[in-house]
Structure 1
Amino acid sequence: MARETRAGEKRVALVPELVTKLTGLGYQVAVEPGAGLPALISDEEYAAAGAVLDARAFGDADAVVSVQPLAIDRIRGLRPGAATISFLPTAEEREVVAALRYAGVTSFAMELVPRISRAQPMDALTSQALVSGYRGVVVAAEMLPRFFPLTMTAAGTVPPAQVVVLGAGVAGLQAIATARRLGAVVQAYDVRAASAEEIRSLGAEAIDLGLEPLEGASGYARVMTEDRAALQMQRLAPYVAAADALITTAAVPGRPAPLLVSRAMVEQMRPGSVVVDLAAESGGNVAGVVAGEVVRIGSAQVWGGADVPSQMPGPASRLYAQNIVSLVTLMTADGAFAPDFGDEIVAGCCVTHGGAIRAQ
């Protein structure tokens, strides 16, 4: 397992409790010293689980696992034919992809794992979205200067916070569930028809804008026209204005996030209101959001999410590590790393192999 080198990344690709699953497959597991410290995992825990702590093993590895793509100088230190497994957004990491191809390294991108039933244990986008959805509500609750739950005392009654969630994928549903656990009154909207039932199952109100659903491929929403987007904003505006906290979660890997909320809509929110945009890194669902910063629009504070799962490195790492181990297990034959490119999961998430780029 490689030590993460990108600023702010606190997750790790393997946790001690899963080391034995890899050694049981016949692998020797090497961990770079200090790799687990950002996630509060000590070298001693890895060693006790059976891993070897060796910074020099990196160049001889058959497969290197990480969260973020390896730095180019580290890729050059890999032997030809070695493999890397990590998140690897090809559109933003073209230099890294070129370095992997030139080095003769086989690389696999976790975000390209096909969204099919058999691949669910390897679906890192889903596992990390789960963390983001929870974290988004915790951030909103911390920033909002009022209670989330209904509170009744001898001194009077404090009404519950009104929370609106836009997007009911994995992150959105987790945000809904978490806000409801904290006692808020929750309304949520998603353009997909099937989402309304999922929203209601969590005790929230499904917002009905009277618009045609936009079902897309692989469980994502279909891209909407400008006219549809404008009408959707118009009909969402009163819900946003009435919200104490707005949480937006709509994102599609490899594409800019859809703009769901205009500045004018945010400016109609009450003083002290909070907006949490979990799609800020891919452009944001809210106009004016800045990833990694809190900006003020009107009377509302707008929090732009940046590497949100890394803000909860313990659970995020454990979920991601299970995804990694599941994928490595699929690529193992007779105790050796031997990916079968006839398997649609292996082929679907492969970015480079044999000196060629297989995914753009």
Structure 2
Amino acid sequence: MVHITRKPVVAVLKETAQGERRVALVPADIGKLSQYDIVVEAGAGLNAGFIDDDYTTAGGRISTRAEAIAGADLVLSVRAPDFAGFVPGKVLISLGGRDTAVTEAAAKAQILHLGMERLPRITRAQSMDVLSSQASIAGYAAVLEGARYLDTLLPMMTTAAGIVRPAKMIALGAGVAGLQALATARRLGAVTYGFDVREAAREQVESLGAEFVFPDVPDAKAEGTGGYAAAQSDDQQARLRRALTASLSRTNLIITSAQIPGRAAPILIDDETIAAMTPGTVIVDMAAETGGNVTITQPDEVVRHGRVTVLGPTNLPSAAPTDSSRLYSGNMRTLLTHLCKDGALNLTAGDEILDALAGGQAMPARAAA
């Protein structure tokens, strides 16, 4: 094991993916990471509302991208960047852990990529859970995005000219994003419903004032491990779609967020269901990046099928980049604290969290002090 007689250096990169407005570390967290030397690429936080002076005031150093990468022990990013300027042996922490293209590019460049999607679902890793923190933002943003395309209002209104009845909203998938969507829609005055193949989700849905919808379909429940839903057969999915059609045909706004790690998103809404929907219905398909829960979803496009509108946003957290960056940064801060204890950066195998993030990649046996 190699010991480096200096503080380990963390580089925070400016995002280059189109439409990505978040930043991996915010100024407020720099002062809480005194065990590290933090170097920030110039302009990294601008799109999230943080200027370079904010970072220097907090104790960070501003640098060019090339210099930041060259001197870093750990490189932080929200989305996995291209690996131009990375030398073999560099360590990147970012999203992209389930992206085959990222995995292959990292292997080719001999980069150790710690993919945040691989974080284990264990108690001591909860405060590092980027997927959950970002899903909360996404669920909120999905309702606002859907409301923009609705022909009707979400809340009930009583006016001298007449009464506007409240819209009906349903969340298909009651994970973090779906639950946040339900909470947001209810605050905006909609009548809310929630569906999930996990019976355990019933109590969570009802705690938010929504009605839990579960059609009477044999073998429809699919409890998986780690809080996720289990995969269903094509026949099970087809029977479930037919059973859900009646509920969806009476709904104005539908938020879908059903996903299964490592697999294409299950189809919850097909052409037959869409044909039965109320004119003006809006669907926000939050699973667009993994194939979509709707047959006609197109990533980052608005698809109109008759008078039904289907939105396929793939980066809803960037709709609120300041707060989503703060949450992402909080997750990163906790992870960085875990990796560097008593002044030593530990990237050796054997730690449950680190091994999961690495996903089977070989890790350098080294420490920094």
TM-score range, shorter chain: over 0.9
Letter in 1 for 2:55: Y
- SS of 2:19's equivalent in the other structure is coil
Task: Compute the displacement of 1:81 (Å).
Answer: 4.0
Asked if the contact 2:287/2:293 (under 8 Å) is kept, the reply is yes
The verdict on how the C-alpha distance between 1:355 and 1:255 changes in structure 2, with shifts beyond 3 A counting, is farther
What is the CA–CA distance in structure 2 between the aligned matches of 1:337 and 1:100, rounded to whole Å?
22
Equivalent of 1:154 in 160, 172, 175: 160
Which residue number corresponds to residue 284 of structure 1?
Answer: 292
Contact 2:24 2:78 in 1 (8 A): yes
What's the counterpart of residue 135 of structure 1?
141
The aligned residue for residue 8 of structure 2 is none
1:263 aligned onto 2:290: no
**Contact 1:133 1:173 (C-alpha < 8 Å) held by counterparts:** yes
Match of residue 45 from structure 2 = 36
Task: Quote how far apart the aligned CAs of 1:254 are.
Answer: 2.4
Distance in 2 of aligned mates of 1:307 and 1:244: 23
Rounded Cα–Cα distance in structure 1 between residues aligned with 2:68 and 2:240: 54
Q: Corresponding residue for 1:86?
A: 94
CA contact (8 A) 1:266 1:298 kept: no
**Identical residues among aligned pairs (%):** 42
Q: Which amino acid aligns with 1:335?
A: G
Q: Deviations over 1:264-315 (max 9, x none)?
A: 2112222222111000111000111101010101211111112221222111
Give the Cα–Cα distance (whole angstroms) in 2 for the partners of residues 281 and 305 of structure 1.
Answer: 8
Give the whole-Å Cα distance in 2 for the aligned partners of 1:21 and 1:98: 32
CA distance in 2, matches of 1:354, 1:338: 10
For residue 206 of structure 1, the aligned residue among 200, 205, 212 is: 212
Give the Å deviation of 1:355: 7.7
- TM-score, length of structure 1 as denominator length: 0.93
SS state at 2:75 partner: strand
Would you say 1:246 and 2:254 are equivalent positions? yes
Are 2:30 and 1:19 aligned? yes
Structure 2 residue aligned with 1:170: 176
Aligned equivalents of 1:263, 1:305: Cα separation in 2: 20
Worse-superposed segment, 247-256 or 189-198:
247-256
> For residues 54 and 299 of structure 1, what CA distance do their matches in structure 2 show?
51
Q: How much has 1:106 moved relative to structure 2?
A: 2.8
How many Å separate the matches in 2 of 1:66 and 1:188? Answer: 34
CA contact (8 A) 1:130 1:171 kept: yes
Is 1:229 the counterpart of 2:219 in the alignment?
no
Q: TM-score, normalised by structure 2?
A: 0.91
Distance of 1:34 and 1:299 partners within structure 2: 43
Aligned length: 348
Runs of 4+ in 1 over 6 A off after TM superposition: none
> Is the CA contact (8 Å cut-off) linking 1:268 and 1:298 kept in structure 2?
no
Distance 1:156 1:119 in 2: 52
Which whole-Å CA distance do the structure 2 matches of 1:75 and 1:82 have between them? Answer: 7
Match of 1:144 in 2: 150
Among 67, 71, 82, the alignment partner of 1:60 is 71
Q: Which residue of 1 aligns with 2:3?
A: none
User: Partners in 1 of 2:116 and 2:244 — Cα distance?
Assistant: 34
CA RMSD of aligned residues (A): 1.6
Matched, 1:343 2:343: no
Q: Secondary structure at the match of 1:21?
A: coil
Return the offset for 1:4.
1.2
Q: Aligned pair in 2 of structure 1 residues 81, 95: CA closer, same or farther (>3 Å)? A: closer
**Residue deviations 1:130-171 (CA, integer Å, cap 9, x gap):** 111111101111111211111112322111001111000000
Residue-by-residue CA offset, 1:235-260 (whole Å, 9 max, x unaligned): 10011111111110111232211111
Counterpart AA for 1:45: D
- Cα deviation code 1:155-195 (max 9, x no counterpart): 22111001111000000000010000001001111000111
The answer to whether the 8 Å contact 1:4/1:66 transfers is: yes
Match of 1:318 in 2: 326
The answer for unaligned runs of 5 or more in structure 1 is none
- Whole-angstrom CA distance in 1 between matches of 2:164 and 2:62: 54
1:193 aligned to 190, 199, 205, which one?
A: 199
